[in-house]
Amino acid sequence: MTDVYRHDDGAFLTEHLRHNHSVELVGMRRVGINTFLRHFFNSHQYGKTDNQMYIFVDLNNLVEREAFPFWQLTLKRISDAVRDLVSDRELRTKVTSIFESSIQYQNLQLTYDGVREALRVLAENNIEPVIFFNRFDRVINMISEAFIDNVHGMYDASDHKLSCVFTSYRPLADFYGRKMPFDLFYTRYLKPADRENVNTQIDQYQTKYKVHFDTKTRDALVELSGGHFHYLRLLMDILREAKTDPEALESTALHEERILLLCEELWESLNDEEKHKLSRVAVSESKQEMPAYLLNTGMVQNGVIFSPLFKDFIKEKNKASKHAVQSLEFTRKEHALFLVLQEHVGAICDRDAIIDKVWPESAEDGISDWSIDKLMERLREKIKKQGLPYQVVTVRTRGYKLVHV
């Protein structure tokens, strides 16, 4: 790992955490925030130096997006970090005891009190905790005045030695409806990576999968991905799977379902004004006034959409007639999803099982809730239109199941 990966972003985060500030890292969906954090953690030895300790709370692992499981997961990750990173046996035992006693009654207030107590103990031992709430946008509906008060309580319990890092595909204020009421709270937008950092990712991919991309192919990967991590990863997967040669990579990618799903995911993350402006840019590339989000995230750079793939997707979307008849045939991913559900008719299929069967090539990097929900929505519609004797039922917090009708 190189410690210069996204150097400016890393320097920004390092400086603010050094002063116990809190930060939101904002970037368009799947742009590579997780990849940046992996490099950042490694280069900073997971915060073990300078009295800091990094605690990673991945909200992708949160099935029930409610207050109790949120605080339970947070307390568990604090306990895990202390176990893995602290050498003081007495301190490890104390935090483990706090965790075990706090969760045994499955009570929200006791669990939250445990979080505060664990942070207080860390502060008393000159450890400055940094909690990374990854994919905080997944639980944004949970934010309330009481939740904000609880976060302030965490800072108080740690004698304000606590820092929090929230990652999201939009600024939290966009969801909350107003500025987040935290002192010393800063926003950093992670734009698509530059050529040097894209080549770092290509080098790591080549090493991991024992493949080689020549200079011309690397140039095509840089250009087509536009520095967007997941576009880049999917494009390299397409090449590795030998589904095309570099010369035809762009045309192949525009018909690849994984690429189209990612394009749709990016599109649906935008509001109506942003979609309207992007549609105009896709046609004319004029340097018109742009909504702040498109500029801040790097979705539009110097009047140009960041990736030719996303630009072509928008152009095709604009061309499509509102009355066009859609194919009723299952796509490859829809068919794989249907088979998973059909193999377990009447039984619940959870998110992880669906990813393993439908996205085996992407399980390591994770699949967004949006992709699963979108594919499920399309499958429901086609099952209905084809007149198949099934119905897809959503089982809240657990998954999906296919039932006979």
> SS3 for 196-211, per residue?
HHHHHHHHHHHHHHCC
| pLDDT at residue number 323 | 44
Residue 265 · residue 368 · CB < 8 Å:
yes
Reference 399, options 373, 379, 368, 374; nearest CA is 373
The mean predicted confidence, pLDDT, of the chain is: 90
Q: Which residue has the tokens 């399309």?
A: 378
Q: In one letter, which amino acid is 352?
A: D
Is residue 226 scored above 70 in pLDDT?
A: yes
Is residue 322 scored above 60 in pLDDT?
A: no
Q: Cα separation of 110 and 149, whole Å?
A: 16
How many C-alpha atoms does 237 have within 13 Å on its Cβ side?
Answer: 18
The pTM of the full predicted model, rounded to 2 decimals, is: 0.89
How many C-alpha atoms does 123 have within 13 Å on its Cβ side?
Answer: 18
For residue 284, the tally of other CB atoms under 10 A from its CB is 10
Banded model confidence at residue 141, pLDDT cuts 50, 70, 90: confident
Q: What is the CATH number of domain 7-189?
A: 3.40.50.300
Q: Cα separation of 135 and 144, whole Å?
A: 18
Q: Cα separation of 142 and 144, whole Å?
A: 6
H or E stretch at 238: helix 229-240
pLDDT digits (tens, 9 = 90+) for 68-97: 999 999 999 999 999 999 999 999 999 999
Q: Cα separation of 385 and 293, whole Å?
A: 38
| pLDDT at residue number 326 | 59
Beta bridge mates, 391: 403
The sign one gets for the Cα dihedral 224, 228, 229, 234 is negative
Q: Cα separation of 22 and 219, whole Å?
A: 37
User: Span 248-270, mean pLDDT?
Assistant: 93
Q: Take residue 360 and report the two structure tokens written for it.
A: 């085996």
Provide CB contacts within 8 A for 361, sequence distance 6+. 237, 241
Tell me the CATH class for 332-404.
mainly alpha
Banded model confidence at residue 183, pLDDT cuts 50, 70, 90: confident
The structural domains of the chain, with segments of one domain joined by +, span 7-189, 195-319, 332-404
Is residue 321 scored above 60 in pLDDT?
A: no
For residue 182, the tally of other CB atoms under 10 A from its CB is 17
Range name among 12-16, 216-220, 367-371 with the lowest pLDDT average = 367-371
| pLDDT at residue number 2 | 43
Q: Cα separation of 178 and 341, whole Å?
A: 41
Is residue 11 scored above 90 in pLDDT?
A: yes
Q: Is 134 left (phi over 0), alpha (psi -120 to 50) or beta?
A: beta
